[in-house]
């Protein structure tokens, strides 16, 4: 048999499911409407996440970095060459426009390389020399300004 002080302590510690729930109304009121987002499987093992603007134009594309391999690419791995092919297919040089600037920012192990074109910015993040993701951000004025955490 549970004693009253123990039962009260247990009741206070155990959260109510009604209190712990977060619904769409709470999230929308705090953060605004969600992004219009789709995920595409563009090649085996390569997912592309696309965020759209209000007119359904692509505003942000996320891809994995891929790895540099010498020789044959191991099964199930994604090479840098495969990612570059997808990037050239999705955002060809003619769509990017003229290359305006390139920069590399480092903060110890984390680093980011950015290529700024007339119509897009292409950023790749690295950690300890290993790519952790590529983000293409379109500079279209209709695209919402997306801030990274």
pLDDT interval class at 60 (50, 70, 90): very high
Query: Residue 49 and residue 63: Cα distance in Å, rounded?
Result: 7
What's the whole-model pTM score? 0.73
Higher pLDDT, 142 or 149: 142
Higher pLDDT, 99 or 66: 99
What is the mean predicted confidence (pLDDT) over 88-103? 95
Phi, psi of 144 (to 5 degrees): -65, 145
pLDDT interval class at 149 (50, 70, 90): very low
> What rounded mean pLDDT belongs to the chain?
83
What is the mean predicted confidence (pLDDT) over 54-73? 87
Nearest of 120, 147, 141, 149 to residue 54 by alpha carbon: 141
What is the mean predicted confidence (pLDDT) over 8-33? 67
Query: Residue 137 and residue 121: Cα distance in Å, rounded?
Result: 5
Query: Residue 96 and residue 98: Cα distance in Å, rounded?
Result: 7
- What's the pLDDT at 75? 81
- What's the pLDDT at 146? 52
Q: Where are the domains of the chain?
A: 33-138
Higher pLDDT, 25 or 114: 114
- Give tens-digit pLDDT for 133-145: 999 999 988 887 6
Kindly calculate the radius of gyration of the chain based on its CA atoms and give it in whole angstroms.
Answer: 22
Has residue 19 got a pLDDT over 80?
no
What is the mean predicted confidence (pLDDT) over 15-39? 76
């Amino acid at each position: 048999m549970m004693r009253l002080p123990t039962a009260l302590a247990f009741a206070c510690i155990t959260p109510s499911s009604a209190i712990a729930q977060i619904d769409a109304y709470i999230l929308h009121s705090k953060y605004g409407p969600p992004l219009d987002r789709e995920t595409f499987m563009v090649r085996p093992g390569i997912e592309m996440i696309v965020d759209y603007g209000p007119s359904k134009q692509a505003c942000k594309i996320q891809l994995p970095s891929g790895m540099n391999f010498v020789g044959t690419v191991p099964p199930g791995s994604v090479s840098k060459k495969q990612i570059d092919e997808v990037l050239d297919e999705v955002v060809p040089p003619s769509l990017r426009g003229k290359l305006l600037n390139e920069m590399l920012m480092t903060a110890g192990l984390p680093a980011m390389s950015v290529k700024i074109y007339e119509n897009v910015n292409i950023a790749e993040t690295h950690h300890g020399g290993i790519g952790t993701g590529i983000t293409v951000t379109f500079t279209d004025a209709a695209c919402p300004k997306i801030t990274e955490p």
